[in-house]
Amino acid sequence: MTISRKKIERIIRPEVRGLSAYHVPVPGDFIKLDAMENPYDWPDWLVDEWLERLRQVSLNRYPDAAAVALKQQMRGALGVPDPAAVILGNGSDELIQMIIQAVAGPGKVVMAPEPSFVMYRQIAVVSGLSYAAVPLQADYSLDRDVIAAALDEHRPAVVFLAYPNNPTGNLFDPEVIRAILAQAPGLVVVDEAYAPFTDASFMGELQACDNLLVLRTLSKMGFAGLRLGLLAGAPAWLNEIEKTRLPYNISSLNQLTGEFALGHREVFEQQAASIRQDRDALLAGLQSQPGLTVYPSAANFILFRVPAGQAGAVHAGLEENGVLIKNLDGSAPALRDCLRVTVGRPQENAAFLSALATLL
Ligand SMILES: *Cc1c(COP(=O)(O)O)cnc(C)c1O
């Protein structure tokens, strides 16, 4: 199987060859605080009830292509206002891909702040669009003038705003987001992946704003393994985006499990409430360590900066102590010396903090 470099270059697009595949470390026997996962397992009674329900699935049949029951359940659980339409995705990543595919074409631009969620750029580039990154200020807030000038210059078909932002954890000023909505020539997607950990949301502004789309996922609230996301917005937009959806993108197992899990959402809302409290304790723990700059977070993770040049050593030292977090140093100029830790169980957060203390 020797395929010549020349042949690959002839067949595979240069933009794709220039990318690196999204890297996920192989999970070892770690305290895993790198991927914004909910650290809590389901209680046994819930697992038993779920397994019983799974018996009803007819895997020989195609799933409900419209996922009617799950859609209804998700609308209610996520507070989608009535006139808005929704599309479900195999994770919100798939919905980002559908939005970009719907607008793709020569000269089309996707815009997002930098640093932000890496999939916006990855999917834009793979889909053949240009990507315009708008730098955030030193405190990771949006600069109203810089973004206004960038909107004028690039005329993006779609702007993505993660709210709260990943990997920085902060909420952008809602007034600046409203200014972007008013000025943008195309769609503005407010990506609320971390909605379970904040009270802030643009879901309530869908009716007032006809170029706003709101993106949600069940991943960060406790179902990362399930792969379920939701896009909400005006029916006129969603009817078009719907055409890019592959039929049966939500499997029968996903539909049943999603309905079941949201039927018991008090369990997961309780977990999210604990994670929010533990985030504040973890933040205080980080702030008490010398030499760190700790950034405020409205999500289930915290970004912090270590003394210059030490990110690699601190990251490796934590790993030697059995704790896996994310090293962001080198991924963007604004993230130099930065690490990101996901809020885990209280004992996991304590293990992380005490390992960190030995490394600073
Ligand atoms: C994690 C994350 C997503 C992707 O979530 P999935 O639904 O698991 O695909 C989308 N946007 C942001 C900002 C995220 O951090």
Tens of pLDDT, residue by residue over 117-174, are 999 999 999 999 999 999 999 999 999 999 999 999 999 999 999 999 999 999 999 9
Q: Check whether residue 196 and residue 249 sit in a common domain.
A: yes
Give the Cα separation of 304 and 330 in Å (integer).
14
Q: Check whether residue 84 and residue 182 sit in a common domain.
A: yes
Give the per-residue pLDDT at 23.
Answer: 72
Give the per-residue pLDDT at 22.
Answer: 75
Higher pLDDT: 29 or 328? It is: 328
Does residue 201 form part of some domain? yes
Instruction: Give the burial class of 213: count Cβ atoms within 10 A of its Cβ; 0-12 exposed, 13-18 middle, 19 or more buried.
Output: buried
Q: Check whether residue 158 and residue 242 sit in a common domain.
A: yes
Does residue 48 form part of some domain? no
Give the per-residue pLDDT at 19.
Answer: 87
Give the Cα separation of 232 and 53 in Å (integer).
28
Is a pLDDT exceeding 70 seen at residue 208?
Answer: yes
The pLDDT of 234-259, averaged and rounded, is 97
Q: Check whether residue 239 and residue 328 sit in a common domain.
A: no
Tell how far the Cα of 91 is from the centroid of ligand 1, in angstroms. Answer: 7
The parent domain of residue 201 ranges over 59-264
The pLDDT of 265-287, averaged and rounded, is 97
Tell how far the Cα of 211 is from the centroid of ligand 1, in angstroms. Answer: 21
Q: Check whether residue 237 and residue 288 sit in a common domain.
A: no
Lowest mean pLDDT among 18-22, 49-53, 232-236: 18-22
Q: Check whether residue 333 and residue 270 sit in a common domain.
A: yes
192 CB-near residues (< 8 Å, 6+ apart): 163, 201, 202, 203, 214, 215, 216
Is a pLDDT exceeding 80 seen at residue 25?
Answer: no
Structural domain ending residue among the three candidates 264, 290, 324? 264
The residue behind tokens 């999204």 is 22
Q: Check whether residue 90 and residue 147 sit in a common domain.
A: yes
For ligand 1, say whether the CB of 115 is within 6 Å of any of its atoms. no
Give the Cα separation of 217 and 196 in Å (integer).
10
Measured in whole angstroms, how far is the alpha carbon of residue 346 from the centre of its chain?
A: 23
Q: Check whether residue 305 and residue 238 sit in a common domain.
A: no
Give the per-residue pLDDT at 250.
Answer: 98
CB burial string 107-139: b at 16+ within 10 A, e below: ebbbbbbbbbbebbbbbbbbbebbbbbbbbeee
Q: Would you give the DSSP letter of residue 147? A: H
Does residue 51 form part of some domain? no
Tell how far the Cα of 63 is from the centroid of ligand 1, in angstroms. Answer: 24
For ligand 1, say whether the CB of 192 is within 6 Å of any of its atoms. no
Ligand 1 mutation pick, 217, 249, 302, max ligand atoms within 8 A of CB: 217
Ligand 1 mutation pick, 92, 159, 297, max ligand atoms within 8 A of CB: 92
Name the percent of the chain lying above pLDDT 70.
99
Query: How sure is the predictor about 293, in pLDDT bands with cuts at 50, 70 and 90?
Result: very high
- Report the CATH number at residue 278: 3.90.1150.10
The pLDDT of 271-291, averaged and rounded, is 97
Give the Cα separation of 327 and 312 in Å (integer).
7
Name the percent of the chain lying above pLDDT 90.
94
- Report the CATH number at residue 175: 3.40.640.10
Measured in whole angstroms, how far is the alpha carbon of residue 29 from the centre of its chain?
A: 25
Tell how far the Cα of 359 is from the centroid of ligand 1, in angstroms. Answer: 31
Does residue 53 form part of some domain? no
Structural domain ending residue among the three candidates 228, 243, 264? 264
Give the per-residue pLDDT at 18.
Answer: 87
Among residues 38, 13, 60, 22, which one has the least CA distance to residue 343?
Answer: 38
Q: Check whether residue 296 and residue 220 sit in a common domain.
A: no
Tell how far the Cα of 217 is from the centroid of ligand 1, in angstroms. Answer: 7
Structural domain ending residue among the three candidates 264, 293, 309? 264
**Mean pLDDT, the chain, as a whole number?**
96
Q: Check whether residue 164 and residue 240 sit in a common domain.
A: yes
CA nearest ligand 1 atom 11, residue: 193
Does residue 181 form part of some domain? yes
Instruction: Catalogue the E-assigned strands of 62-219.
Output: 85-89, 109-114, 130-135, 158-162, 187-191, 212-217
CA nearest ligand 1 atom 14, residue: 193
For ligand 1, say whether the CB of 219 is within 6 Å of any of its atoms. yes
Is a pLDDT exceeding 80 seen at residue 24?
Answer: no
3-state secondary structure of 335: helix
Does residue 24 form part of some domain? yes
Does residue 124 form part of some domain? yes
Measured in whole angstroms, how far is the alpha carbon of residue 4 from the centre of its chain?
A: 37
Number of folded domains that form the chain: 2
Give the per-residue pLDDT at 15.
Answer: 86
Beta-bridge partner residues of 110: 131, 158
Query: How sure is the predictor about 27, in pLDDT bands with cuts at 50, 70 and 90?
Result: low
Give the Cα separation of 92 and 9 in Å (integer).
31
Measured in whole angstroms, how far is the alpha carbon of residue 51 from the centre of its chain?
A: 28
Does residue 318 form part of some domain? yes
3-state secondary structure of 43: coil
Which ligand 1 atom sits nearest the alpha carbon of residue 299?
15
Give the per-residue pLDDT at 2.
Answer: 86
Q: Check whether residue 225 and residue 318 sit in a common domain.
A: no
Q: Check whether residue 17 and residue 133 sit in a common domain.
A: no
Give the Cα separation of 359 and 357 in Å (integer).
5
